[in-house]
Amino acid sequence: MSQGRAALELSSNAVTVLERRYLKRDETGVVTETSEDLFWRVAKHVAQVDAAYDPSADVSATAELFNRPMANLEFLPNSPTLMNAGRSLGQLSACFVLPIDDSMESIFESVKNAALIHQSGGGTGFSFSRLRPKGDVVKSTGGIASGPISFMEVFDAATEAIKQGGARRGANMAVIRVDHPDVMDFITSKMDGHTLNNFNISVGLTAEFMEALKRDATYALVNPRSGEVVKRLRASAVMHKIAEMAWKNGDPGVIFLDRLNEANPTPQIGEIESTNPCGEQPLLPFESCNLGSIDLSGMVVDGQFDYEHLGEIVDCAVHFLDNIIDCNRYPLPQIRDMTLGNRKIGLGVMGFADMLIRMGTPYDSEQAVSMAEEVMCFVQERAKQASAQLAEQRGVFPNFRGSTYDADGGRKMRNATVTTLAPTGSISIIAGTSSGIEPIFALVYRRHVLDGDSLLEVNAIFEEVARREGFYSQELMKKVAEAGSVQQMDEVPLEMRRVFVTAHDIAPEWHIRVQAAFQKYTDNAVSKTINFPHDASRQDVENAYLMAYDAKCKGLTVYRDGSRAAQVLTTGIASTERPRGTRVPRARPTVTQGVTEKITVGCGQSIYVTINEDQNGLIEVFATMGKSGGCMASQSEAIGRLISLGLRSGIGIDGIIKQLEGIRCPAPAWQEGNIILSCADAIGKAMHRYVSDNGTDMVSSFTGDMVARNLLGMCPECPDCGTMVEFIEGCLRCPSCGYSQCG
């Protein structure tokens, strides 16, 4: 195998991610292995499988073969493999789908099974489409069914309790067919921003629905218990609602169910009803899949793409991923049987945006779309060749007979699928490359460090080019960090601006065309977020869904910049409820008295809430926390100032508390038996306790809503390191430390 880049050129962010999530520790929490040790640990464990097929195999040579592309950061497997290979847990797969049938036994068996998977580091997908709708009859008890949404909340609560021991967060995908009677409730189930925070949700669109949409016709809603048509809806009204909710907060996404099943390689085994949490891996019930990604930017040498080296890496990766199926320790026997029966693997790519930049090609160009097709076509064909060669040596996958390969009389395959374009959140940080096939999210961003300072993190390629071309300066980097783009900056040469486009510089149709180009040569599906500017319309979002369907994508996730915060800020009170007139806050006295309470919040920090009063009652609240100068600290300070302003202006205490309590962030915490949902919730609970303990009157006044509304739009900041998070590949992700909302 030819040599790639020098081994282990790790960035400071990569070191942080490895130390926090991947490297072994002793019982006191001290890291006991290096990055080199990690890759050797994984390579040796996976290489041992060769001996099971050929007792004379040189396992040491195979371990060296597997180690080299990992140590060169050219290929990395999914996170559970890096974390668990060669260790006691031994669970190496990232993606699982569990069945849910219409019975209490099945529902709660799946809750238990999901908990076991989350505990082992995996994410789970479910279809809730088989559950009878809300209000339907329960014959065994004579009662009324509560519907699938209520059971989704049970799964969500169980996931919240597990949290995967801190190594990987629990993550779920919920799918409901568009013809389920509760589909409208499902579409709006995450509207308030406080529920189902451990779920991504996607509506399963059918070919019948899409045909009705084109004809502006109605379609049938069918009770899954009885098979009876219970209602008809106009398809356009449902699509409008999907687009509206996605426009407001990014949920739901859509998957095209019939298209997933057209590509189902083993239809004789079952029907695909759901995907893994980020949507790129359609799976049968009880199936799992192990994934890995090749860094395309590492294949660029002197501006030219090295297909010979890429082919060598693909061969090695297919061998590696097939071995994982045998050395994996599965969380359930049913999953083991299904996975060994189909032997699906998912080889994908990362660093596509960096590859384009190194080749001087804009992401939003015909040349980029052509290169996407060309590269993925090569990966797909080479991976199938490698799988066919393994089939000659080791045999076809057990469910080969009756598969689409068998029916077509095609080549014999070791693996039912070979390619998937997965999210590469943490592993792309380790590799020091752009994430998946996403465009660069930001050229410069601010990273908050423990002493409260804010450092500028500059995209390595952008900094290299800027210094070489002579337009680098700290002042420019600060401007780019604030603006998020170089498109309006004359200091940057025009040809450089054209190449260094970011996610929000690119029109949605180019996002979709790139996704479709990769999907054309991908067995499974593609994880990709279509980014919209904040001023995009609902119709823009709806048009994207139609464009994705026509482009033969298998699903779509969208995110309008700032939409999650904007949605919370625009809901709450009607204009008629706003206070009339002008309130003048009373002066703050020189001396006040009160208490300070320390509360631990879900990001592992402590917030200190100080509540003071004078002779007229509560007058001020201060909320402080660590990382002085960081976004979370500044938001907490702002909350305290606004509460104090409201109190000094005569705003009712209960109105303020009512608005604060119940606000939820991605990482709740427990303290003395009580759940703390967020910093805002912690402040509200502290105020509530103070009022209760001290007998302070809670004046019934809801004119505090207008003040409280300003408290809800918390900054999208990483709970681990304070860096601004990105919304890419269907999930919130930190570009600095690797934190991911989706695991």
Q: What angle do CA 32, 34, 38 make, to 5 degrees?
A: 100
Residue in 113, 172, 278, 731 annotated catalytic: 278
351-360 b/e with 16+ CB inside 10 Å = b?
Answer: bbbbbbbbbe
Distance CA 17, CA 343 (A): 30
Half-sphere exposure at residue 600, Cβ-oriented, CA atoms within 13 angstroms: 8
Q: Looking up tokens 């980029």, which residue turns up? A: 368
Q: Are 63 and 319 in contact (CB under 8 A)?
A: no
| R_g (Cα) of the chain, nearest Å | 27
3-state secondary structure of 458: strand
Residue in 273, 280, 457, 726 annotated catalytic: 280
- Give the pair of three-digit tokens for residue 291: 């994934």
3-state secondary structure of 498: helix
Length of the chain: 743
Please tell me the chain's helix, strand, coil percentages from 3-state DSSP, rounded to the nearest 5.
40, 20, 40
Q: Do the strands 345-350 and 288-295 form a parallel or antiparallel pair, or are they unpaired?
A: parallel
- Give the pair of three-digit tokens for residue 546: 């139609």
Residue-by-residue DSSP string for 357-375: HHTT--SSSHHHHHHHHHH
Residue in 84, 172, 276, 524 annotated catalytic: 276
Q: Which residues pair with 98 in a beta bridge?
A: 126
Where would I find the beta strands (DSSP E) of 206-303? 218-222, 229-234, 253-256, 274-275, 282-283, 288-295, 300-301
**327 catalytic per annotation:** no
**280 catalytic per annotation:** yes
CA distance from start to end of the chain = 33
Half-sphere exposure at residue 615, Cβ-oriented, CA atoms within 13 angstroms: 4
Torsion of CA 573, 731, 724, 437, to 10 degrees: -140
Alpha carbon 80 to its chain centroid, in Å, reads 16
Distance CA 285, CA 70 (A): 31
Q: Are 317 and 324 in contact (CB under 8 A)?
A: no
Q: Looking up tokens 């031994």, which residue turns up? A: 90
Distance CA 99, CA 105 (A): 12
Alpha carbon 362 to its chain centroid, in Å, reads 26
Amino acid code (one letter) for 46: V
Residue-by-residue DSSP string for 78-129: -HHHHHHTTSSS-----EEEE---SSHHHHHHHHHHHHHHHHTT-EEEEE-T
Dihedral pair phi/psi, residue 276, rounded to 5° = -75, 180
**198 catalytic per annotation:** no
- Give the pair of three-digit tokens for residue 461: 């390629």
Bond into 252 cis (ω within 30): yes
Q: Which of 271, 293, 283 is nearest to 344 (CA)?
A: 283
> Which active-site residues does the annotation give?
276, 278, 280
